[in-house]
Structure 1
Amino acid sequence: MSKGLVLISGVNGYIAAVTAKHLLDQGYSVRGTVRKLVSAEPLLKNALKDYAEAGTFSVIEVPDMTVDGAFDDAVKGATAIAHLASPVSFHFNDPEPILYAAINGTKTILTSALAHAGSGLQSITLLSSIAAVKNVHLPPYAFTEADWNDIAEAKVAELGKATPGPFIYSASKVAAEKAFWQFRDEKKPAFAMTAINPVLVIGPPLVAPKSEEAIGETIHGIYDVFSGKSIPAPMAGLPQVVDVRDVADLVSYSIEHAGETNGERYIASSAVGHPQAIADILRNEFPEAKNRIVEGTPGEGYRKDYTVDSEKDLTVDSSKAKKLLRGGLWITYEKSVADTAKAFAGLV
């Protein structure tokens, strides 16, 4: 017996595919949406083949999630919805289509859920981002779920197509989450609504990339180090990371405990990432690749517990989300980095 049917939008995406596998393993049935059915073939014919053949995993085509009624059929019979489809890149160059897709994709799935899902729908979880939380603060400061990004949308309004890519991405995430909560305030639906706000997500993809071009932006730095290309410069701003499997676990928790998580945001952050730490971890984990992986300056530039000095730096408080994890512990940074690299075995 299935624990319920979870609809996952954009199921072929990096976080969504891992979440689908996690929920299927937990005993749920999963219906995923994709823009084109062919994009789901790696899941249907390989990664989730057993579930597809058993009838617990299926995929439905939603060519344009911004069109009114786009999700009307997809939501029918769902007991939970995880809206994980959203444009993701730090290199966008035109804010208008990105914000349109993020905002209207959120509105259409919510509207369809309210009108067509039926009384069995218990919860909707939105994959938001730390980008919807982080604003301008002088250190020391710890961002919490009470914080909101109040600068990205203003930057887009000011600069238009000249807006830097990271601001466009941030504006899309904050605008989509605002639309999510506005819907809850105005419609007062019977189902629970929860937002998950991860920092930079790393960890192994469910489907190993077949080419360098297929590697997601958030894990490309690990590939660069593992393949011997270089040790990238440290990430500016907030260098925090979290494992994709922990994000999936938080989505699962919000579904299983809808009453508890209703109306809440949860920041997902497990460690402070650093390129030199990646090199050190991989050289230790894969001694046979030491000659390929650039050594850099071992041990420099990061704290050995993968944290920042909270009395001097900007950080995030993810204690609220940590309490929801099975076992109460984040996946370690070492494991996240090593497991991500293993997905690149066929490319190096």
Structure 2
Amino acid sequence: MLNLLQALFYNRDFDWQDEAIFHDLLNDAQFDQIAPQLYILLKNKHRFDQVPYFFQQALKSASLHTLLQNMFVKADMKKVLDRFESLGVETIPFKGPLFSETYYGDLAARRSRDLDILVRPEEIDKAITIIKALGYLHEQKGEPEHFHRIFYRIHPKTNVVSIIELHWHFLRSGTSSLNMDMIWNASVPIPHYHYIHTLSDFHMFYVICLHAWNHELNGWKHFIDVAQMILMLQDSLNYHDLFVFAKQQKTYRRVARTLIIVYHEFPGLNDILPLPLNETQTFWWSPKEIGSRVGLKETLPTFIKRLKQLSDYDNTKQKLIFLKRELLPDPVIMNQVTGTDHSRMPRVIQYMYLYFKRIEYLFLRHDK
């Protein structure tokens, strides 16, 4: 898969007629996740007609499915944004359908499962009232230190679930010095709206890098998003400014690590926009991360990997917060490992069971 992606982002040799290669790609565990992106990238590079017919058909089917799903999400997004606009609540939708259209030029380029919406912290209660009035009555339980709340509704006729992630920040409490006012002040109004904005290209790239790091770059979709933005923005993306900003916000090491990893796998990006960093080691990341699941259910191996990630935090306070979350996780997270049937037990018993599961994993083999 990596060879194909490299060929789509820069001039790497690739055998476009070898059917065996494309059968392997079709069976790749990552294919379903990135098929819509592959379809658009092949189209944009004028390579689509060069790949075998069976691969074309698989990509077309995936793209059509994604288009229908994204049209549904986009329709929901318009209803939500129109309501925020009518009530004068400043809102920034990001990622989702808007990201696909802006940076890929096609609604079907990227599968969108939910709406990510940023509101100002002082308006979060008002925003919750608004979306509940629109039918998003159910809330998914989350960690107290998280930076968003998740609401969903079930459409009565189709049983389709619509999800809204209502953000007031991009990072967990205490893990950055991110000045959200700077984000808001640099945001760009969306045409035909007064209160609805979009992130600037600079801040969108910054958020995509942090998002990829938060997900431990565990899928090619994260690499594609970063590489696609680099390809689209090119010289208008200034790494010096990005790193100065990231250092000010105490997020430099996470942003830098993400880009080091992406450029390590896609070295040809240096010909498009050179990465001005001397470090080239991916450190905690390796290709076997692709397809892995982020979560404490991975137990001990993930725990060890995340200890290595301590070096990606910018100061001691951030590292201590990270360690606390890993060593003594919130009950919401712990229940993902121990199961809800243990949630009523005394906290000390829950932690004992958690570490039993972590030690157990050390001696058991699990498939990804």
The two structures have a TM-score, normalised by structure 1, of 0.31
Richer in helix (by share): 2
Q: Which has the higher contact order (CA 8 A, sep 6+)?
A: 1
Greater Rg, structure 1 or structure 2? 2
The two structures have a TM-score, normalised by structure 2, of 0.30
